[in-house]
Amino acid sequence: AQKITQTQPGMFVQEKEAVTLDCTYDTSDPSYGLFWYKQPSSGEMIFLIYQGSYDQQNATEGRYSLNFQKARKSANLVISASQLGDSAMYFCAMRGPWNTDKLIFGTGTRLQVFP
């Protein structure tokens, strides 16, 4: 069975510093995709970044990068130069079996950025 684990319920970071949010996954499927979503207090799900299991390079999107370590089954999100607006819940998710495209979510990490 596929599983996503986020072990950090909450994280604090000072503005302009970098922060890493941890995510480990478990799957027996050789083809999978990993996602990070941001959920601000307003509640919407905002897509941040995607990494495919066959991608050779780590994904980057602006201040977001994904530290993908396939052998360790980890897909950590790195946010550089944190901003106050980054304060939110962050969810790691994995795309399920190819014929269903389901997303399986972790329990999330609440990030708080302080001045």
Partner 1 sequence: NAGVTQTPKFRILKIGQSMTLQCTQDMNHNYMYWYRQDPGMGLKLIYYSVGAGITDKGEVPNGYNVSRSTTEDFPLRLELAAPSQTSVYFCASSGTDGYTFGSGTRLTVV
Q: Which residues bind partner 1 (CB under 8 A)?
A: 4, 6, 35, 43-45, 47, 50, 91, 93, 99-108
Q: What does the alpha-carbon distance between residue 58 and residue 88 come to, in Å, rounded to a whole number?
A: 23
Nearer to partner 1, 15 or 29 (CB): 29
Nearer to partner 1, 44 or 85 (CB): 44
Q: What does the alpha-carbon distance between residue 35 and residue 52 come to, in Å, rounded to a whole number?
A: 9
In whole angstroms, how close is the CB of 114 to partner 1 at the nearest point?
Answer: 20
In whole angstroms, how close is the CB of 2 to partner 1 at the nearest point?
Answer: 11
Nearer to partner 1, 42 or 71 (CB): 42
Nearer to partner 1, 68 or 91 (CB): 91
- Going by their DSSP bridges, the two strands 24-26 and 33-39 should be labelled as unpaired
In whole angstroms, how close is the CB of 105 to partner 1 at the nearest point?
Answer: 4
In whole angstroms, how close is the CB of 71 to partner 1 at the nearest point?
Answer: 25
Dig out the tokens for 23 from the structure: 């995510």
Residue 11 Cα distances to 25, 38, 53, angstroms: 20, 14, 27
- 66 forms beta bridges with 77
Q: What does the alpha-carbon distance between residue 109 and residue 92 come to, in Å, rounded to a whole number?
A: 9
